[in-house]
Amino acid sequence: MLVHADSLWYLNNCLNAFKQLWEPIMNDREINRYWKKIINTMNDGLLLISPDGTILMVNRAFEKLTGFKAKEAIGKPCTILNCDACEITLKKGKGIWCALFDGGRDLSKRCVVVKKDGTYLQVIKNASLLKDDQGEHLGAVETLTDVSELSRLDQELDQLSRHLDGSKGFHGMIGKSAAMQRVFEIVPKAAQSDAPVIIYGESGTGKELMARAIHQLGRRKNGPFIELNCTALNESLLESELFGHIKGAFTGAYRHRQGRFEAADGGDFFLDEIGDLPLSIQVKLLRVLETRQFERVGDHRKISVDVRIITATNKNLTDLISANKFREDFFFRINVIPIQIPPLRDRMEDIPLMVNAFLRTLSSQSGKKITGLSPDTMTLFMNYHWPGNVRELKSALEYAFVICEKGLIGMEHLPFQIKKNVPTAGRDIPIDNRKDQAERKALLEALQQTGGNQSQAARILGVNRVTVWNRMKKYGIRLKPNLDSV
């Protein structure tokens, strides 16, 4: 904040130094000529305002920041910027009068101004009064320091801090299974397109990580990556969050607010849980996708944006369409490049990799000397259904790190929910559908054909050895000691 507040100090010192050096040999006309060059070297926008609120002068940085040319701003009231932090009152017979003149003190505020094209600009405004020798007000000088990029970087840093866990793999996603390798092949191709991408997957499969990977691998990687969970807000607040609002648009709208679409201009906008989006918002989003324009809540001006949409859902959207809970036209607009993330139970061979990655991270964070999982615990992990997917796996290990002090994590260190739902190995498991019956029959035939060799049986079935082992557990199949039959 100190750096931004020094703008006025720098301006005054430049002026004083300039006068001390050149006043003896230059007349007022020449000083004024070089004075304009001085203020035009500033990166901060500068404007001089008369006591009645009329803009008297602006510099080039002001023109660049706000979009208003000098001839468009000079002679106009300073309220053309619609600064949401200004406390302006209209006094009878005195025109527009700023609280700055009433208090007589310098002001420094973080605020939002409205540019000529209607977009918002986040700035730090520093304002100071100009007085003559008798203390009469001559006007005010203001500087505008653009902090929109700092705000964007702060937001991205906050988002990244929630995702960095030290894990290796494909942009934070871990998996060597064939199912995940197919996904990893699609992502770079999808990233190079500007077409909408939709990510399907159960809760906890890593849809948010996938969306971030698409952003980082795409042509918009240097632009913003903005996220919004569609279930986090009610309908009215969601509209404001998406499109922004102007001051006074509704009760409680005390400041201008930039919407997520405007913040994502030039980058990617990730809408998570899109299946929960209200129908009324779907209509407005459809219009934005088709026209690349939107209106803020309470405003009529069109704002143009260049944003690529990435969505995600754990729901079956076609079922929602049939139930009239999701618009078919909106579905076709966002379902251009679909990516399906498989649940953890369909890629159990990835569990050891994930466990090792999470253990490294948790050991580094906690400082505990925990070396791994006991054999029984790993067997338990490989038998568990994991309804919460990767998120549940990570949470279980985080819980274990709290309970376990050192050495191997045992079953006694795991959450009760996991232990109570693991099927007992070897028990009779009912097979109710034809698919399971066919799968069990094929597994038995492969094991008998290979004399119980699980690796060879896996090659016959076209799966990996871990899948064979999991299916044996699932159907209660045990090899006899001599390994020549089942």
pLDDT of 174 reads 86
Strand partners, 89: 97
Please state the length of the chain.
486
pLDDT of 425 reads 42
**In CATH terms, is domain 151-342 a member of 3.40.50.300?**
yes
Domain ranges of the chain: 2-146, 151-342, 345-421, 423-486
Q: Please say if the pLDDT value at position 211 is more than 60.
A: yes
- Provide φ and ψ at 4, rounded to 5°: -70, -40
Question: Each residue of 315-369: pLDDT tens digit?
Answer: 999 999 999 999 999 999 999 999 999 999 889 889 998 998 899 889 888 888 8
∠ CA 294-229-114, nearest 5°, is 35
What average pLDDT score do residues 268-282 get?
A: 94
Scanning the structure block, which residue is given the tokens 């490049």? 337
pTM of the model: 0.62
The one-letter code for the residue type at 211 is A
Match domain 423-486 to its CATH number in 3.30.450.20, 1.10.579.10, 1.10.10.60, 3.10.129.10.
Answer: 1.10.10.60
What CA–CA distance (Å, rounded) separates 70 from 116?
Answer: 12
What average pLDDT score do residues 191-203 get?
A: 93
What 3-state class would DSSP assign to 129? strand
pLDDT of 21 reads 47
Confidence category of residue 382, pLDDT binned at 50, 70, 90 = confident
Asked whether the beta carbons of 272 and 207 are under 8 A apart, the reply is yes
What average pLDDT score do residues 433-439 get?
A: 70
Q: Please say if the pLDDT value at position 389 is more than 90.
A: yes
Q: Please say if the pLDDT value at position 92 is more than 50.
A: no
Reference 108, options 257, 247, 4, 255; nearest CA is 4
pLDDT of 99 reads 61
Q: Between β-strands 308-313 and 268-272, what pairing exists: parallel, antiparallel or unpaired?
A: parallel
What average pLDDT score do residues 443-455 get?
A: 82
How much is the mean pLDDT over the chain?
80
Third-level CATH fold of 2-146: Beta-Lactamase (3.30.450)
Asked whether the beta carbons of 245 and 298 are under 8 A apart, the reply is yes
Question: Each residue of 102-140: pLDDT tens digit?
Answer: 655 667 777 888 888 888 788 888 888 777 777 777 778
- CATH number for the segment(s) 345-421: 1.10.8.60
Reference 244, options 178, 172, 302, 319; nearest CA is 302
Confidence category of residue 473, pLDDT binned at 50, 70, 90 = confident
